[in-house]
Amino acid sequence: MIHKTAIIDPGAELGNDVDVGPFTIIEGDVTIGDGTVIGPNVSIRPYTSIGPRCNIHAGAVLGGTPQDVNFKGGKSFVKIGENCQIREGVTINRGTQSDSVTEVGDDCFLMAFSHFGHNVKLGRNVIVANGALLAGYVEVGDQAFISGNCVLHQFIKIGRLVMLGGGCGVSKDIPPFCLVKPIMINTIGGLNSTGLRRSTLTTEDRQEIKEAFKLLFLSDLNVSQALEKLKSAYPTGPASEFSTFIEESKRGICTM
């Protein structure tokens, strides 16, 4: 199922049952897993690996060199997991430093014209809607949902099960389970209640997350004071992810 107009470098490795559409270019040092479908006019650049059963739509560019003035050449990578949906015009750039990686986890859904800069790391089951822009070194936790036209500053971290509303801007870290309302900048709007309900978390876990959220954002405590109480009250379980995330944050967290 390789279209006659596709150009595939002999150095590319294609698995079984891979489809390649018209006018697609697959360069050398590319690996594509079994059962992946690649649409028309796709460009897959060197040092890109794509897992099995992915679906790459028209006009996507995967593995392009980083848009970074510090890039000095050399071998860096893009790694895409299995069962990913990559829609029209998506761009994913490889890492800036030699041997560094831009990673997309399994079962991600990247919608049309979203952009993923160098060294971005997406967890599993991440959904990124149309036109969202993720700058270099952004990290996104499992099951996060980034709505259309969101803008994410370089080096920030997005916790798991976070929901970013359409058109919001973020330049600080977003703790897990939180919601940013549409068109807001660096402002927590509440818990991602819909995401929590749809997750595999138990009723008891969700209740503890709600209590921890109130302690962090709705009490009279500052972040340092709240952190100490969170560590004491929730040493384990999903609610403990708040304190772990805050301790690891380098840019500081968004507030309400």
The whole-model pTM stands at 0.96
Confidence band, pLDDT 50/70/90 cuts, at residue 22: very high
Average pLDDT, stretch 130-139?
A: 98
Does 125 share its domain with 218? Answer: no
pLDDT of residue 186: 96
Does 130 share its domain with 229? Answer: no
The answer to whether residue 220 sits within a structural domain is yes
Percent of the chain with pLDDT over 70: 100
Percent of the chain with pLDDT over 90: 98
Does 109 share its domain with 216? Answer: no
Does 18 share its domain with 120? Answer: yes
Does 97 share its domain with 206? Answer: no
Residue 32 pairs in a beta bridge with: 14, 50
Taking CA atoms, 98 is separated from 23, 27, 50, 75, 94, in Å, by: 30, 19, 20, 5, 10
What is the torsion angle, in degrees rounded to the nearest 10, for the CA atoms of residue 174, residue 180, residue 182 and residue 183?
-50
The answer to whether residue 158 sits within a structural domain is no
Tokens of 211: 């209590």
Domain count, the chain: 2
The answer to whether residue 2 sits within a structural domain is no
Last residue of a domain, one of 137, 164, 188: 137
Q: Please give the DSSP secondary-structure letter assigned to residue 219.
A: S
Confidence band, pLDDT 50/70/90 cuts, at residue 152: very high
**Model confidence pLDDT, tens digit, residues 199-212:** 999 999 999 999 99
Does 126 share its domain with 212? Answer: no
Average pLDDT, stretch 116-128?
A: 98
pLDDT of residue 108: 98
Q: Coil, strand or helix: which one is 248?
A: helix
pLDDT of residue 52: 98
**Model confidence pLDDT, tens digit, residues 47-101:** 999 999 999 999 999 999 999 999 999 999 999 999 999 999 999 999 999 999 9
The answer to whether residue 30 sits within a structural domain is yes
**Model confidence pLDDT, tens digit, residues 159-217:** 999 999 999 999 999 999 999 999 999 999 999 999 999 999 999 999 999 999 999 99
pLDDT of residue 95: 97
The answer to whether residue 211 sits within a structural domain is yes
pLDDT of residue 27: 98
Does 110 share its domain with 35? Answer: yes
| Cβ-Cβ contacts under 8 Å for 139 (sequence gap 6 or more) | 120, 121, 156, 157, 158
Structural domain span for residue 99: 7-137
Does 102 share its domain with 203? Answer: no
Does 128 share its domain with 222? Answer: no
Does 133 share its domain with 207? Answer: no
State the sign of the Cα–Cα–Cα–Cα dihedral 152, 153, 154, 160: negative
The answer to whether residue 256 sits within a structural domain is no
The answer to whether residue 170 sits within a structural domain is no
CATH code, domain carrying 228: 1.20.1180
Last residue of a domain, one of 137, 157, 183: 137
Does 115 share its domain with 209? Answer: no
**No. of H helices and E strands in the chain?**
4, 27
pLDDT of residue 142: 98
Average pLDDT, stretch 226-243?
A: 96
The answer to whether residue 144 sits within a structural domain is no
